[in-house]
Amino acid sequence: MIHNFNYRRATSVEETLGLLEKCKEDYKIICGGQSLLILMRQGLVAPENLIDIKSVKEMSYIDYDPKNGLKIGAATIHREIEKSPLIKKYYPVLVEMEKNLASVQTRNWGTIGGNLAHGDPAGDPGPILIASNATVKMASLERERILPLEDFFIDIFETALEEGELLTEIQLPILPKKTAVAYEKFSIIKNQQGIVSVAVSITIDEDAVKCKDARIVLGAAAAIPLRAKEAEQMLIGKKIDTKLLASVGKKASEESDPVSDIHATETYRRFLVKTLTTKVAKKAWELAKAAN
Ligand SMILES: Cc1cc2nc3c(=O)[nH]c(=O)nc-3n(C[C@H](O)[C@H](O)[C@H](O)COP(=O)(O)OP(=O)(O)OC[C@H]3O[C@@H](n4cnc5c(N)ncnc54)[C@H](O)[C@@H]3O)c2cc1C
């Protein structure tokens, strides 16, 4: 049973920030409730004040411009991202990811901001967004700040959001020329969170011979979505072939720091990191060769 709490509904960012200040001793923000309500029902979280931002329309948008890239309001639901022609055109991997995130019902309620703010290392959007060099915008009554998403995740279910702060926007830069991002999760039940997931971004040189830049981000393989930086370095400046990809997968597995739980052992997760990294990096390489 859910405990008693004060319910407060905001309709603007300004009103939300005022409520966060007023309730600062004990509050939780709720948007789609797809993650928070589970914790509240289990009694793991019991805030005195629940601040509902679902009606803050100014936080629900998808904007793209060819200079600055993509901006997604934090209260945008997964389903809108999945259905966006703009995102499909410029960041297709996000659309594919959304199609495999939970059920349509959950995607119709759950938001991109709620997903990131929940701080679950098994969340699907985090690895792709970090591989795409995303930043996040946060606002409080005192200030607005922008942080690389990579630095937003602090520990399991812990983010850089401070008391009184609201996550307002997710920003993706224009991908460099000859760049592609690929993603895959391994899950036992379709459209459930991955046992392990991997996102890889690869930029190749003009002649499509060597890898110019690479980002490898592991999901559910550490307390946070984790960049496998040594594995990335193995790709940069090199001509990619099957042997190199296998070594990169092995290195990513060594860099991962997974736990054993009811879903999988640490050993199995490391094995998955190795095979998925090899596979996803190959896919990103092939897509980059075909990219503009
Ligand atoms: C059946 C089921 C299956 C799922 N499968 C997947 C899956 O396959 N992959 C996946 O990634 N996720 C999955 N999820 C998780 C869920 O879809 C996401 O985490 C969802 O996007 C959360 O968004 P929300 O708006 O519902 O967040 P809420 O539940 O409302 O909030 C989540 C957390 O974020 C905070 N918060 C919300 N918005 C903000 C904000 N703007 N600023 C600051 N803090 C904020 C809240 O205080 C809370 O701590 C699943 C969930 C369910 C119920």
132 Cβ below 6 A of ligand 1? no
Each residue's pLDDT tens digit, 80-107: 999 999 999 999 999 999 999 999 999 9
Query: What span, in angstroms and rounded, lies between the C-alpha atoms of 101 and 109?
Result: 12
Ligand 1 centre to CA of 148 (Å) is: 20
Q: Which structure tokens are listed for 127?
A: 């690895």
In short, whether 69's Cβ falls inside 6 Å of ligand 1 is no
Can you give the pLDDT at residue 197? 98
| Helical segments of 119-217, H only | 125-131, 149-152
**Residue 258 beta carbon below 6 angstroms from any ligand 1 atom:** no
Residues 6+ apart with CB under 8 A from 229: 255
pLDDT of residue 37: 96
Query: How is residue 211 written in tokens?
Result: 């890898």
Judge if the beta carbon of residue 113 lies within 6 A of ligand 1. yes
d(CA 229, CA 166): 30
Angstrom distance (rounded) from CA 166 to CA 29: 8
Distance, CA of 230 to CA of 8 (rounded, Å): 47
- Identify the bridge partners of residue 182 per DSSP, sorted by sequence position: 200
Specify the pLDDT at position 1: 77
CB 101 less than 6 A from any atom of ligand 1: yes
Q: Give the pLDDT confidence score for residue 208 in this predicted structure.
A: 79
Ligand 1 centroid, distance to 292 Cα (angstroms): 34
- Measured by CA distance, the residue closest to atom 40 of ligand 1 is 167
Ligand 1 pocket, 126 CB below 6 A?
Answer: no
Ligand 1 in reach of 117 Cβ (< 6 A): yes
Predicted pLDDT of residue 25: 83
Which pLDDT does position 153 carry in this prediction? Answer: 98
User: Which domains does the chain carry?
Assistant: 6-52 (3.30.43.10), 57-172 (3.30.465.10), 179-290 (3.30.390.50)
Both tokens of 12, joined, read 């603007």
Assigned token pair, 237? 């400046």
Ligand 1: which of 27, 29, 38, 191 to mutate, judged by most atoms within 8 Å of the beta carbon? 29
Q: State which of 34, 40, 167 you would mutate to test the pocket of ligand 1, scoring each by most atoms of that ligand within 8 A of its C-beta.
A: 34
Q: Give pLDDT < 70 ranges for the chain.
A: none
Q: Ligand 1, from 78, 106, 191: best to mutate by most atoms within 8 Å of Cβ?
A: 106
